């Protein structure tokens, strides 16, 4: 059963609970995480907690709870939901106060939902995804998991309307990441992905891929690459908590490699399935 939490109360995810003067709602003034639960086990929770608190600190937001307290709430919600495979969404905002750009002196609002996991369409997982390249119009602090996702939403919608699953973004001639994923290519057996600078979200699944590449003895290089390098790649794939590791086979109508999911991404996903 889907379940939700707001500032200490367990609620139904359909309850109308949001006060008008809530800063997440009015300003997008907050940060969030999306976490996956496999077989009742929260996947890579320490990494998610570290990123959550780093994001909060970056926007000068005092969450008002420790990482242990947040984890205890998550565990309790998962248990109450009775779900084994689910997605946890959590966000912290700068609280409830009359609308004013300046920081209010009120406690942060913390809300969460636990819902059954969304799964990637089986056919897309089998045959690979299509993507669309679009300009990266976001701000300079993409490493902060901020609630402000307007450029991401607009890019994803444009990609979707063109028949692609994901928008992959280009800044100053180099590919950064997807609108809601990190992006990788494979060339001559080596994995390449944009370095973890301020221009990308430091994805948790990206960390998992880096660790698995080491385990599988596959060279892994964090180096920016261009759309020409993408088109000349042998394989491409994207990663995110909800999409896991997903092969990409077509960019703006052009095939990558032989147009089929490659061996490297298959190996990574097989190992990922063992770890989840
Ligand atoms: C912009 C962006 N990049 C990358 C990711 C992947 O991050 P993670 O693997 O932590 O889900 C996401 C996830 O939603 C995202 O929104």
Q: What is the pLDDT of residues 69-90, one digit of tens each?
A: 999 999 999 999 999 999 999 9
Domain range enclosing 235 = 122-275
205 plus 147 within the same structural domain: yes
User: Among 116, 149, 173, where does a domain finish?
Assistant: 116
Same structural domain for residues 136 and 158?
yes
Residue ending a domain, choose from 88, 116, 144: 116
Per-residue model confidence as pLDDT tens digits over 18-48: 899 999 999 999 999 999 999 999 999 999 9
Residues 136 and 226 in one domain: yes
Q: Which of 54, 145, 255, 266 is an active site residue?
A: 145
* DSSP state letters, 118-137: P---HHHHHH-EEEEEEE--
Same domain flag for 145 and 264:
yes
Task: Report the separation in Å between the CA atom of 98 and the middle of ligand 1, taken as the mean of its atom positions.
Answer: 32
Q: What is the dihedral of CA 48, 202, 93, 58, to 10 degrees?
A: 110
Which residue has the CA at smallest separation from atom 16 of ligand 1? Answer: 180
| The domain boundary residue, chosen from 101, 116, 131 | 116
Same-domain status, 36 and 138: no
Mean pLDDT of 187-201: 98
Point out the ligand 1 atom lying closest to the alpha carbon of residue 206.
Answer: 9
130 plus 243 within the same structural domain: yes
pLDDT at 16: 86
Instruction: Examine the domain organization and report whether 88 and 149 are in the same domain.
Output: no
The verdict on whether 255 is a catalytic residue reads no
Kindly state whether residues 238 and 189 are assigned to the same domain.
yes
> What's the structural domain count of the chain?
2
What percent of the chain has a predicted confidence (pLDDT) above 70? 100
Residue of minimum CA distance from atom 15 in ligand 1: 180
What CATH number did the domain enclosing 34 receive?
3.30.470.10
Contacts of 51 (CB under 8 A, 6+ apart): 33, 145, 202, 204
| 128-146 pLDDT per residue, tens | 999 999 999 999 999 999 9
Q: How confident is the model at residue 17 (pLDDT cuts 50, 70, 90)?
A: confident
Nearest C-alpha to atom 1 of ligand 1 is from which residue?
A: 180
Whether 241 is in the pocket of ligand 1, judged by its Cβ within 6 Å, is yes
Our answer on whether the CB atom of 204 is closer than 6 Å to any ligand 1 atom is yes
User: For 15-19, 121-125, 247-251, 268-272, which range has the lowest pLDDT when averaged over its residues?
Assistant: 15-19
Residues 195 and 87 in one domain: no
């Amino acid at each position: 059963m889907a379940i939700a939490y707001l500032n200490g109360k367990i609620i139904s995810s359909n309850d109308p609970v949001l006060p008008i003067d809530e800063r997440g709602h009015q300003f997008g003034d907050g940060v969030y995480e999306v976490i996956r639960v496999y077989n009742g086990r929260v996947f890579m929770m320490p990494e998610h907690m570290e990123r959550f608190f780093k994001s909060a600190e970056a926007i000068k937001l005092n969450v008002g709870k420790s990482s242990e307290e947040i984890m205890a709430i998550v565990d309790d919600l998962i248990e109450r939901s009775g779900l084994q495979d689910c997605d946890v969404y959590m966000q912290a905002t700068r609280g409830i106060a009359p609308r004013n750009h300046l920081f209010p002196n009120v406690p942060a609002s913390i809300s969460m939902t636990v819902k059954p996991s969304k799964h990637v369409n089986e056919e897309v997982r089998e045959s690979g995804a299509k993507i669309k390249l679009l300009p990266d119009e976001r701000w300079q602090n993409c490493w902060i998991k901020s609630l402000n996702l307007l450029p991401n939403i607009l890019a994803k919608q444009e990609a979707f309307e063109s028949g692609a699953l994901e928008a992959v973004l280009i800044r100053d001639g180099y590919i950064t990441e997807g609108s809601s994923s990190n992006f990788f290519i494979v060339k001559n057996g080596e994995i390449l992905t944009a370095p973890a600078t301020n221009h990308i979200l430091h994805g948790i699944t990206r960390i998992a891929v880096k660790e698995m590449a080491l385990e599988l003895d596959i060279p892994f290089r964090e180096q920016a690459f261009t759309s020409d390098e993408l088109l000349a790649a042998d394989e491409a794939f994207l990663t995110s908590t909800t999409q896991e590791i997903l092969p990409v086979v077509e960019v703006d109508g052009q095939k990558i490699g032989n147009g089929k999911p490659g061996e490297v991404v298959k190996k990574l996903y097989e190992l990922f399935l063992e770890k989840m």
